Amino acid sequence: MEAGQKRTATVGAEGLAALLVRLRAGDKTRSEALGLLLLPGVRLLIQRQTGRSNVDVEARSLLDAALVNILGQPALEAAAVPEMVRKMIHETYPGGSGRKSQTAGTSALELPRGTKIAKRILKRLPALVQDALRRSYVLGEQPEAILADLGLAAEDLRAAKSKARAEFASKMQKPASGAA
């Protein structure tokens, strides 16, 4: 396993709460780990808000600002960090793709329809497949690393991804009242 892949796998296994404790204790190496954990999602949300594909500079800048916020709010719990980052993205890049921002029109507890559908699909899958899909889509790990770590065959991973995408697309095409 390459160094970058090993770091990503380690970050995925280490909880966000543990990262925050270590960051607040002064462990500066954990800021890189926090970045590795949050960067794929931050990049995706900024891409959706701006409609641009190359947003690495913006994503890293936003993560730096989020780190300052995290360190400046000792009472901030790990569970609140993703919502804080989402709010920062929506405040920094308002409007964007025409999608209603979570902070503008829905409660913090109400998830977008696509997120609800994806969660239901994942819940029905075996834990091993859930982990493989999370590592592929959320953490952006290379398929080879996922296959080696989880002992999956390449065709099994491809089939799981294909089935999940097809089911998601099918449910997203149905009217919102029946699917979400």
Q: Point out the least confidently predicted range of 41-50, 88-97, 119-128, 152-161.
A: 88-97
Crossing angle (nearest 10°) for helices 143-150 and 3-13: 60
Percent of the chain with pLDDT over 90: 0
Burial of residue 51 (CB within 10 Å: 0-12, 13-18, 19+) is exposed
What average pLDDT does this structure show over 121-139? 83
Q: Which residue has the higher pLDDT, 114 or 85?
A: 85
Domains of the chain: 1-107 (no CATH), 111-180 (1.10.10)
Q: Which of 80, 60, 61 is nearest to 70 (CA)?
A: 80
pLDDT higher at 103 or 174: 174
Mean per-residue pLDDT over the chain, rounded: 76
Residue 169 pLDDT: 85
pTM of the model: 0.47
